[in-house]
Amino acid sequence: MPQSGAYGKQFGQNFGLEDVPVIVTRVLRKTEIAVTEVRSENPQPRLTDAIPREDAFLIGLQLRDFPRHEYWEDGRQAPVYDLRAGECTFYDLKRDPIANIDKPYHSIHFYIPRVALNAIADDVNAPRVGELEYRPGAGVADNTILCLGQSMLAAFAHPERASRLFVDHVTLAVATHVAQTYGSLRPTVRPLRGGLAPWQAERAKEILSANLDGSVTLKDLAEECGLSVSHFARGFRVSVGIAPHKWLLERRVAHATCLLANRQMSLPDVALACGFADQSHFTRVFSRVMGAPPGVWRRCLQD
């Protein structure tokens, strides 16, 4: 599948950046959703390069104020707006979006192709999403995108600590929220109430427990249960009470409490055996779930 120019290295080059962090997911069939972080403290004033036209959208989350946002679609300049940190901006890649980058900036951009929105609509038997409702160049206060976007910053800072389940969860949530809030997605089927069948819940937990490193994806779990990704994600939350990536973290911690009883295993060894990227990641998650660091927990086991 050829990479779009709207995320990753090619997208960064549109801003004059050589290297930008990007996370790409394939949580939905036959398509990719991507998230790219761009930032510069002292940019050379320039217009962003043209992005090859495609039927897709970019949703930018501003992480710092950007006064006087000058923006063009199809060669026509939009009204000039002051963008505030925490606001979102929408870009239709069919309309040749161009912006003037003449002051420090920091933002993350969700790349959501039309085929992803169609897959979300098809999954709930809803009419397919048409055009998104937005004002060119304007910022929108959207707390859902803000919270989901901010949760990705840790994944950019420490990609080795971000499980594929977590990234799948965030990107699917953003795409679904965009379809519902700005694309007028209205499901025509009754929402799932009963959750997963007992065998589906047990099978999902079994797979998660066998892949504590987080390499399994939502798509993998959904296929094992014979469900679409979005139905599986909703059903798992109904049946288990939390999202799959959170259940995985708790399962890692539960396994760690058993291994900590073995004094021959060092804390780094326990961390790796339980799927954590390193000891600091292990300590942070374990402390949050158990209320005490693993070293303290181990000493208590010996008392």
CATH class label, 8-182 = mainly beta
The pLDDT assigned to 108 comes to 96
- Element of type H or E holding 108: strand 105-113
* End-to-end CA separation in angstroms for the chain: 57
The set of residues, in sequence order, having a beta carbon less than 8 Å from that of 289 and lying 6+ positions away, is 249, 250, 253
Walk along the chain (303 residues) in steps of 10 and give the mean pLDDT of each run.
77 90 87 94 92 94 96 96 96 96 96 92 84 94 94 88 88 93 75 77 93 89 91 90 91 90 88 88 87 84 63
The set of residues, in sequence order, having a beta carbon less than 8 Å from that of 56 and lying 6+ positions away, is 4, 6, 93, 111, 112, 113, 114
- Number of CB atoms found within 10 A of residue 177's CB: 17
The pLDDT assigned to 190 comes to 52
Per-domain residue ranges for the chain?
8-182, 198-246, 248-302
- Element of type H or E holding 66: strand 66-69
The pLDDT assigned to 3 comes to 65
Fold (topology level) of 198-246 = Arc Repressor Mutant, subunit A (1.10.10)
- Cα(121)–Cα(39) distance, integer angstroms: 33
Residue 23 one-letter amino acid: I
- CB of 59 closer than 8 Å to CB of 112: yes
The pLDDT assigned to 2 comes to 52
Q: What six digits make up the tokens of 113?
A: 């192709």
Fold (topology level) of 248-302 = Arc Repressor Mutant, subunit A (1.10.10)
Q: Are 8-182 and 248-302 the same fold in CATH? A: no
The pLDDT assigned to 1 comes to 47
Half-sphere exposure of 281 (CA within 13 A, CB side): 23
Alpha carbon distances (Å) from 144 to 9, 61, 147, 158 = 27, 11, 5, 23
Tell me the pTM: 0.83
